[in-house]
Structure 1
Amino acid sequence: MSEKEIWKDIEGYEGAFQVSSFGRVRSLPRIDALGHHRKGILRKQGNVHDGYLQVALEHNGNKAVYLVHRLVAAAFIPNPNGYATVNHKDENPSNNRAENLEWCTMLYNNMYNGRNKRVAKALERPINVITSSGHHYFFSSQKKASEILGLNDGHVSACLHGKLKHHHGFSFEFAV
């Protein structure tokens, strides 16, 4: 038995764009401002970061970029509590099917499926801190190095992941 794809108008873009229960977005057939007939097409979705998908919509002067999972949730998932956050149940941010989404609190989303434990474990990995003079200092974790040296943990992480070269004169590498 195959599941049927359901299409619904996107709020604010009624009659121009629709979102589907499968996480796809399409424009509807229309006559443009110059009187030309335009076919409806599937809209391209771009990767924002970490697999989250976005789509650009424009109609009657309304022009904006939207996260696809939020469009799907708004159209298909009841939100009686007025939650502001959408969770991907399978933790795959590219899977925007309606059955994979749920409205929730930010706290629930952050705690979902052991995310905090995974982040904490990543922060426990031993690292080397290298001074500008080339001396290496071993720390049992990124968190410990940040605390002892009085550094911003986010900047240390950015250095470890190649997004920054230095932070307060130090460079960083994961210990082997």
Structure 2
Amino acid sequence: MGRRHGWGHHGPPGPEFLFGFGGGRPPFGKFPFGPPPPKAKRGDVRTAILVLLAEGPRNGYQIIQEVEERSGGAWKPSPGAVYPALQQLADEGLILGDEADGRKTFSLTEAGRSYVAANPQTAPWADQEDTGGDWPGGDIAAVFKEAAQLGTALVQVVQAGSPEQVAEARKLVTATRKRLYGILAGDDEEEDA
């Protein structure tokens, strides 16, 4: 299949060729399309849990999904961060877990409600709104995520596509690159060239 495109017995180039890291390390370590997005601050998982449970009972999965949704997809805490934080809050007597239908649902205890009332919690995703969507990652992280997915799609077209499909992909990538530079230049219309 690779010979059809003239790549010899090794097949088509991989993403390291397509994106210019020449087989060496990507310019940002394991983040080839830019620096890693900022991480959530210490205590953000705990704060997020308290904010959400102040609204009503939730299980761990619902907490993870709600944080991801409210942060616009910029932050999805891992189960390895959420469940230990839930256990710590339970050990402190601030939350209680009730098992129902095979799921453990957590809610604030009376002590937890008093704690939240005495120590108002600012939702970590509110930082994202205050900084124009750049916490943690926001639009910047979303652009790099899309670029990574674009790279995967390009590799698939190059590996499995017909010569006509590869040529069409090349034209699309060229037009997209020009349009991106047009955005930087403040042009409203795509340039012809």
* TM category, shorter: under 0.3
Higher helix share: 2
TM norm structure 2: 0.24
Q: Which has the higher contact order (CA 8 A, sep 6+)?
A: 2
| TM-score (norm. length: structure 1) | 0.26
